[in-house]
Structure 1
Amino acid sequence: MSAVAAPAPARAAAGKPLPPVSYKAPIAYGAVAAVALLLFGILPASGRETAFTMFAPGENIQFSVPSKLTAIVLCLIALGLAAWSFQAARTRRKVGVWLPAVYAVVLVFALLTWAVAGKAQPLPLTSLLQGSLFLAVPLVFGALAGLVSERSGIINIAIEGQLLAGAFLAAVVATITSSAYVGLIAAPIAGALVSALLVVFAIKYVVDQIIVGVVLNVLVVGITSYLFSTVLRENSATLNAPERLPTLPIPLLSDIPVIGPVLFRQTILVYLMYVVVIVLQVLVFKSRWGLRMRAVGEHPKAADTVGIKVNRTRVWNTLLGGAIAGLGGAFFTVANGLAFGKEMTGGKGFIALAAMILGRWSPKGALAAALLFGFADNLQVVLGIIGTPIPSQIMLMTPYIVTIFAVAGLVGRVRAPAAEGVAYVK
């Protein structure tokens, strides 16, 4: 399928309405690329060359590029893409997702080429991408949890609490049973229990869903912190020393250069993430269950008139969302082999909400947005190790800055389910 839609005259001749002309995206693309060109063209790089390394079967491939020249050329390519976007907007052509994706990749590589110039340690591209995918795991599960709940009309602000509860129970059960896999099974139960409280207050007692979500987050933080201080800390060897999920490389696929180690040399939790994203993408938009869920979230009264049990659908979908979020909570403990700590989720549930919104309440969109935030999170870690002229305080803020700008730039053009947050009383 072509990434560019039919020309405007052809659509007009066919009787289809013309899309409105908007230059917001081209202006934004051009402004960012121009600023990057000025910075990389004026500010001196710390070295003349930038070294990169990536994994290939049996060896690491290392190569170097001229730092400043490469960064400037990449910024010029970004300006060219901005010009293409402007022309597409002027002629009312619809540009596919390839343009923002290529634009982002070009500017990121321009930044990396300039920032890591002259460093003795090369930038490990494979490790950067592998770590980005791994750090995106809780964000993907959290975003999918919010998607399943909100598509049926229940606002799920309690994702942070569901992640934290899943991390807690996974650590305790994995330690008691001496099996990380059993802890992984226990994590969704904890998330579903938090969701059970959400549906009781939001559906049965018709309490404001946002308030309930915030209270549940505080409740889970309080309970887990209390149990950590009074029980886990005193019995850490027997209750809070989980084993780590082993890495499971997929034969043949894991040996593919660059993408093999990134996609197919991961833990079972990452492979479960692939499965959940694919299954939900199909079920939400291609199945009777998905149609009923979306109908309940868009027009519950109409869904009720055709025999769909609105509140029962909301209950089961919210419980399912909590279980998915709890599974993501296992990332913080058993996936890393770490003991549970107070508030160890660090606000990832709220970033997951941003990923859900940025992904337009779509599983594949949520995956893409979570990968963006995971990359930003891992980038500040990698650059902090290698060293960069960018101040460390700015590097620590990178994931949150990316989240704010991404949502602020796109949230105005997305629409939540119409009946989201609206209680249904028959």
Structure 2
Amino acid sequence: MEKINKRKIFNDPVLGFVSISDELLFDIIEHPYFQRLRRISQTGLSHYVYPGATHSRFLHALGCINLMQITHKVLKSKGVAISKEEERASLIAILLHDIGHGPFSHALESTLLEGIHHENLSVTFMNILNEEFNNELTLAIDIFLNKYPRKFFHQLISSQIDLDRLDYLKRDSFFTGVSEGNVNSERIITMMNVVDDELVVDSKGIYSIEKYLTSRMFMYWQVYFHKTSVTAETYLIEALKRAKQLVKKGKNVPSSDVLKYFFEKSDFVEINKKDLDKFAQLDDSDVVSALKLWQANEDKTLSLLSQFIIQRKLPTSLIISEPVSNEKLELIETAVKKLYSVKDAGYFVHQKELSVLAYNDTQDPIRLLLKNGKVLELQKADNQVLVKDLRKKITRFHLCIPREVYDIK
């Protein structure tokens, strides 16, 4: 029988070499459920603005493993007891934290599976993998769901200063070329510690934390909420919604069998094994291939939306401080109906609220470990510089209007 080398090293262009020496971890990476993440974009359609942003969820997950391995070493060096079982489980939990993402990550999260969040899908995937691997993922699932009493393990995976954020900010900054997100992940990790089984940061790292929080805020406004990529993702969502409506009316909407499955089914209150197996076959390529076909669809709305996305002929988009009135939007929609000869202009005219709260001091706040051993919440530190302002939610409005009727605004 051919032996498989279970010790692997991945070359990560952002964080360097990622070593996988645990056989179970390697087997999970090799599983088709996880391999699908190679075909899921990390940043949706951000490459429409930043051409280099074509990196995958697969690469992000490997980066998170790297950061978790570094964190284990740092915490152990500070006297934090971590068993072999906890070490393996936390690595599995961070590896699988995004396994439930669908095509183009967040863009289509509530479109194909209405009302189902990607984290719920991640847990469902984990439970099935747990059965396949003889319940060896049980502790990892408990950590992911915050059911394990040593809370810091969950905080490393999901909190206001988790390893997920420390990786994606640095990674997305690298691939987009937006320097504002280039946080010093390892510097922050070296400042981490544990008190009463909760994650804390050495007080001398306060300015690294403030830099991290501001970097995340700027990455939202400059990358994740960039007006053009938001418009592209909005039109992508509308194209999928239109296709789904047409399929339910019995219209001809060519697509892959797996994409058609999600068009034909609408009740996803409970995800069954068949749903999950179908979802595990779905990736970005299904959507792109369908859009290419739909450019010539007999339905004018679907055809136009698909052309605009595939050919990147996007409407005018704006980020504004005050929303446009409903009366103005109705005037614009009336003009669009005439322009495109369609009955419903709502597919082409959109206004949505965008909000960013850089630091939430009411929900699991970041805690500082002072030299005297006391623990203090970040916002209460005397030497903080920016935290007071970072606690304020910033809200703007995204507006996209076909260029031909832009003057009506």
TM-score (norm 2): 0.23
Q: Which has the higher contact order (CA 8 A, sep 6+)?
A: 1
Pick the structure with more strand per residue: 2
TM-score (norm 1): 0.22
Pick the structure with more helix per residue: 1
